[in-house]
Amino acid sequence: MKLQFELLLIWVLNGLALLAVANFVPGIHVDGFGSALIAAFFLGLVNTLIRPLLLLLMLPVTLLTLGLFIFVINGTLFWLVGSVLRGFVVDNFWHGVLGAVLYSIFSWALSSAAAQLMRPHNK
């Protein structure tokens, strides 16, 4: 039961992070919170299933670029999800790269804050 609650909380926080990204990056558009939740779900799915395979296949290029190619992979996947879903639009690749970076930062910050708030305090 606790795991289900944590997954649901992370999903909602990622939806909020996606709304925040849409407010900061003019080339990213989200129709509303429902669309943000759907997009966050699919971003999580793509990052879980496709991203590891791409990282493995592109390892030589990633090593040659000292890891900078990971930004290209993340931006491409972010842009891909934005081009497939209705209600979540990423205008171009560069907006995808910036959106992926900000999405990671916002998701991390919100998840960390939630973990701190939910952590039991010993007095």
Q: Which residues, in sequence order, are bridge partners of residue 116?
A: none
Q: Where are the alpha helices (DSSP H) in 25-92?
A: 33-49, 51-57, 59-64, 69-84
Cβ-contact 119, 14 below 8 angstroms = no
State the Cα–Cα distance between residues 88 and 36, nearest whole angstrom.
7
- Residue 123 confidence class, pLDDT cut points 50, 70, 90: low
List the domain boundaries for the chain: 42-108
| pLDDT at 8 > cutoff 60 | yes
State the Cα–Cα distance between residues 121 and 123, nearest whole angstrom.
6
**33 Cβ partners below 8 Å, 6+ apart?**
15, 19
* Mean pLDDT of the residues in the chain: 93
For the segment 58-91, what is each residue's pLDDT rounded down to a tens digit? 999 999 999 999 999 999 999 999 999 999 999 9
Q: What are the two backbone dihedrals, phi and then psi, of residue 118, each rounded to the nearest 5 degrees? A: -90, -10
Helix, strand, or coil here: 28?
strand
Between 120 and 73, residue with greater pLDDT: 73
Q: pTM above 0.85?
A: yes
pLDDT score for 1: 75
pLDDT score for 73: 96
